[in-house]
Amino acid sequence: MKQSGDKELEKLRQRLEFLEKVNQQYISTLDTLNSLGDIHGNVRQKRSPQHIFSSTRQYICRLTNFDVTAFLMVNEDNNSFEIKDCLPQNSQHSLQSLIDSLIESGEFGWALNQSRICQPQLKLDGKTVLLHVLSSRTRIRGMFIGVLADTESVPSVMTLGLISAILYNSAYALESATLYKMVMKDNQDLELMVVDRTKALNTAQIELKKSNEELEGRVKERTAELLSANKKLLAEVERRKEIENSLRESENNLIAARQLAESANHAKSEFLSKMSHELRTPLNAILGFSQVMELSDELMQSENGYYVNEIRTAGEHLLVLINEVLDLAKIEAGKIDINSENINLADVLRECYALIKPLAKKKGVKLKELPDHLDNLCLYADRTLVKQVFINLLSNAVKYNTEGGMVDLKVDFTDEMAEIRVIDSGIGIKEDMQQYMFQPFNRLGVESSKVEGTGMGLVITKNLLLLMGGQIDFKSKFGHGTEFCIRLPPGFESFSPTKNKVSNAPDRILAIKGFSVLYIENDAPNIRLMESILSKWPQITLTSALSAESGIELAREMIPDVIIMDINLSEMNGYEAVKLLKTEKQTASIPVIALSANAMQKSVKQGMESGFERYLTKPLKVVEFLKLLGSLTGQVLLQ
């Protein structure tokens, strides 16, 4: 009984010892697990795999005894395993041989795929080898290899589990360390980048400041430039203003000068008009009386009739000349009126010949007969101006000729041009003087000769021809004669020479019913002329007044059938007088004819505007006047 009790006691004691041992193991395990966090903590502090390896080794060796422990790490470059930490270090060589063998046998690779401690067949010096992969969830970091010290006993399953847990923990710590290192490196890189960027920023800031300063400098410079340009501009504006002012001043001066020129021109026109008037007034008497004489058949059939005719022709030529003087003044002013028409060349030349003949006769120069093929030839030109041209050339041909000399005329017509040559056998023009031909007032060396002249005739001739679309040139041989050749456009129609002939035969005086005429005129010869004209009709009562005022009085009293009135009257002029007559009821309907030596276009226009029925110019064309008088009184005075 006692023996069985002791046995039981012994069993209980062994049981207690076992439980105490187990208890010790649990406490130690808890202790180990408790301190596993240190590996991580250390990792964060030290960050070195070596430190992780030695900490791990410490904990593992607390759990079981190893002869050799080593940590292998994967070389990322060639995917091989390298021993990184081996204890004792002198076992590294034998351990490497063991590893090679394990790799060769495939046990190493097999262990890599296990998530626990593996015990390969191969041993080192007869001692058990343990392998445990060092891996995190994502990748394999390496391998733990341990050679147990005690060949006989293998650690318990719990111990092996704990070792496995520690090694996993180490693998994570290694991973964390690597990540930590990477993060740190990234941080460092980032910091470096920040530093770099900051540096770059600073540099940029400095650059910016510099360029700002530069810009400011340039702005200052530009502002200064602008200010100076502005200043210059202001000065320029001032200068322009001054120029403008002086321009305005000179413009004003110009206006004043123009006004002066205009008034001078006006004075010139006035002078010409006056001169024309003064010449026309006596000519009116000459031409008027000769026309009155021509009305008498008896007189015209006598020898005196021939003289009367000569007086009238010469008077008419004088009238043409006066007109030409006015025309020449107009040429200079560019105001000449060209009335081009078809004119019969033979008619014009005959008229010119008739005028030149007396001069030729006097000089003993022979005027050759006009060519006989001229009758149907026409020029397209202004009749008066063409006459003036031929008179100039023919009179020169006679003037600059010698006794017994001759003057000839040659005519050639083409479709485009009529060519008329005036040829003389006169004194000719010295060769060295010929270049000065057509120069105003240049008499080409004949100034001291007896031949009178002004040196203007050919200048005027040339200008007239140019105005009519013609030309002139000449050739001359000193001592032998001169030839002037003029060209003018030919006319477009053949002309009957008789068509244009001026008939000198007077119209026949007819018997009429009586009427009254009031003539207001301050020039006595003109009144006498009017009396002579109207004396052919005893039925016509002519009353005259010497001034506008007395004329108006008379008009009111007698209410004549027609009033004839001069313009240039002593006090009130003709324009004012007619206006007055037209405003008064009893005289308003009396037709008033202006009869004035003032033949300027302007005066005629003014006269018509003032209220005259017609504006006749002196010298009076008697037939035209009588026809007008007849039409105003409803009578026929001439047949």
* 269 CB-side CA count, 13 A: 14
What are the structure tokens assigned to 474, written together? 């000449």
Question: Least Å distance between CB 360 and ligand ADP?
Answer: 13
Question: Least Å distance between CB 407 and ligand ADP?
Answer: 9
Question: Least Å distance between CB 334 and ligand ADP?
Answer: 21
CB 158 within 8 A of CB 27: no
**Closest to ligand ADP by CB, 397 or 418:** 397
**Closest to ligand ADP by CB, 52 or 444:** 444
Cα 612 versus chain centre, distance: 54
Residue number of the CB closest to ligand ADP reads 453
Number of residues that make up the chain: 639
Question: Least Å distance between CB 359 and ligand ADP?
Answer: 13
Question: Least Å distance between CB 278 and ligand ADP?
Answer: 24
* CB-based contacts of 557, cutoff 8 Å, min separation 6: none
**Closest to ligand ADP by CB, 462 or 614:** 462
Cα 47 versus chain centre, distance: 86
Measure the CA–CA gap between 542 and 563, rounded to whole angstroms. Answer: 10
Question: Least Å distance between CB 502 and ligand ADP?
Answer: 28
CB 437 within 8 A of CB 427: no
Question: Least Å distance between CB 397 and ligand ADP?
Answer: 5
**Closest to ligand ADP by CB, 149 or 329:** 329
**Closest to ligand ADP by CB, 426 or 619:** 426
Residues forming contacts to ligand ADP in the complex (CB under 6 A) are 392, 396-397, 400, 424, 426-429, 443-444, 446, 453-458, 482
Measure the CA–CA gap between 448 and 450, rounded to whole angstroms. Answer: 7
Measure the CA–CA gap between 164 and 346, rounded to whole angstroms. Answer: 155
* CB-based contacts of 137, cutoff 8 Å, min separation 6: none
What are 596's strand-pairing partners? 617
Q: Is 598 left (phi over 0), alpha (psi -120 to 50) or beta?
A: beta
The radius of gyration of the chain's CA atoms, rounded to the nearest angstrom, is: 73
H/E element, 245: helix 157-294
**Closest to ligand ADP by CB, 176 or 395:** 395
**Closest to ligand ADP by CB, 81 or 478:** 478
Measure the CA–CA gap between 386 and 464, rounded to whole angstroms. Answer: 8
**Closest to ligand ADP by CB, 455 or 525:** 455
**Closest to ligand ADP by CB, 457 or 591:** 457
Question: Least Å distance between CB 279 and ligand ADP?
Answer: 20
Judged by DSSP in three states, 75 sits in: strand
Question: Least Å distance between CB 333 and ligand ADP?
Answer: 20
Measure the CA–CA gap between 437 and 400, rounded to whole angstroms. Answer: 15
